Structure 1
Amino acid sequence: MSELHAPAREVLDQIAALPATSGRPLVICDVDEVVFHMIAHLEAFLAARDMGFLRHAYQLTGNIARKDSDTPIGQDEVRRMLLEFFTETSDKQSLVEGAAAALERLSADCEVIFLTNLPGSANKPARERLLAHHGMPYPVVTNSGPKGGAAAALSAGRGRPVVFIDDSPQNLKSVNLCLPETHLIQFVADDRFRAAIDPLPSVRLLTGDWQETTRHILTILDRS
């Protein structure tokens, strides 16, 4: 595994502290734009600061600019802004329709674990409380950067098949590289950003619908 995809020590420590595996199939699920809306909240956050997206593309650096400007803000400013955004928003993001019911249904047959890229260690408890408030008290592992190494570590010694649900093409590519037997689902709640995606060959399903996602995963389980 390349250094780019290797999980940080703090990620491995979180994984080591998880409850013992049940041996059931594993569903590794992202949070932002999959379970909770992110893009709509981020657009409101940016608009309040006279900024916005330049295009409906899955990137932040190079895609955020001040109003009446086509010049994107720099990477350092994007990072500072994201930390501020999550600090303000991690305890109040709105639920994607059908997410809680779908994961409850899947949890009857699968082990569900959230793997989320979340800046700021203090934001994890807020995210866990909000997930639990919406009926999703599944374990949360916070990560930074590509998720392939973390997904591989999560799946070690756990049940098969492994399903990975995420909105980010970069994370899906990373998991496919590090854990190629994984069933990849790209879930993007925002219709505009989903429509702009160039589907990856490794992705089994591109969707923004939790009912479709549930049916797809149950079909995978029936075949395993």
Structure 2
Amino acid sequence: MTALHSATVAGLDALSLGDRPLVVCDVDEVVLHFLKPLEAWLDRRSLWLHAVSYGLTGNIKRKGSADAIPKDDVAQLLIDFFDDEVGRQDAVEGAGAALANLAGRADVVLLTNVPHHHRDRRMENLAAHGLGFPVVTNDGPKGPALARLAARATGPIVFIDDSPTNLKSVLAAVPEVHAIQFVADERFLALAPDVPGARLKTNRWPEVETYVAALVAD
């Protein structure tokens, strides 16, 4: 299993988990919009997102060109995007209310693959949107992080993410997890491949809240 970054280990081990169910939730395109601000940011750089398949690599092009920019360039664009925009992303409708309601019966943790050095800016932005939950930064597939949390959890565990890679990683590491695939953007929700073992695929937070509330009911 992939080794965890020291910042991830520190963040996970610092969490105070109670004797309650655990909800672990991704941030980008789940509780905060990612694609909308990314497309506006790309437009200012004469780039655009051609949403013909799930993911960014192969879909970002220069205006006036049919050729997608290389994978390495996409990786650098994401670094630059977060440098510029991590403190300004807007909340996905219903995310704050749903997680606040669930927090009455479960521990809520936000597990995000934003670069580790942006953790404070991400936390400030989340808090401004009423999403002031513990934030742990991660890199790579999230299975190892969930396995570390599951070793301490005593109740049901829910994992919410947009990425099929992360969902598959978590389900392989912690098969008992209740996995939910959430993709806020309608286009990418339709393009996202179904993940075997996921209990729900949606872009509506009331649906998530209904499912999880039934699972964690007293």
TM over 0.5: yes
Distance 2:72 2:142 in 1: 21
Deviation, 1:106, is 0.3
Aligned residue number for residue 8 of structure 2: 11
Aligned residues: 218
Counterpart AA for 1:12: V
Aligned-residue RMSD, C-alpha: 1.5
Matched, 1:151 2:139: no
1:79 corresponds to? 75
| Contact in 2 for aligned 1:54/1:70 (Cα 8 Å) | no
1:93 aligns with 2:89: yes
Aligned match of 1:107: 103
Amino acid at match of 2:77: M
Q: Aligned runs of 1:1-224 on 2, under 5 Å?
A: 2-3=1-2, 6-18=3-15, 20-119=16-115, 121-222=116-217
Give percent identity, aligned residues only.
Answer: 45
TM-score by length of 1: 0.92
Q: Alpha-carbon deviations, 1:105-150, whole Å to 9, x = none? A: 000000000000002x331111101111122211100111111111
- Whether contact under 8 Å (2:106, 2:216) holds in the other structure is no
Q: CA deviation at 1:58?
A: 2.6
Alpha-carbon displacement from aligned partner over 1:42-83 (angstroms, at most 9, x marks no partner):
111111111122324332222212122232222221121111
Counterpart Cα distance in 2 of 1:106 and 1:56: 35
Specify the SS of the correspondent of 1:49: coil
Distance in 1 of aligned mates of 2:209 and 2:181: 13
1:122 aligned counterpart, secondary structure = helix
SS of residue matched to 2:199: strand
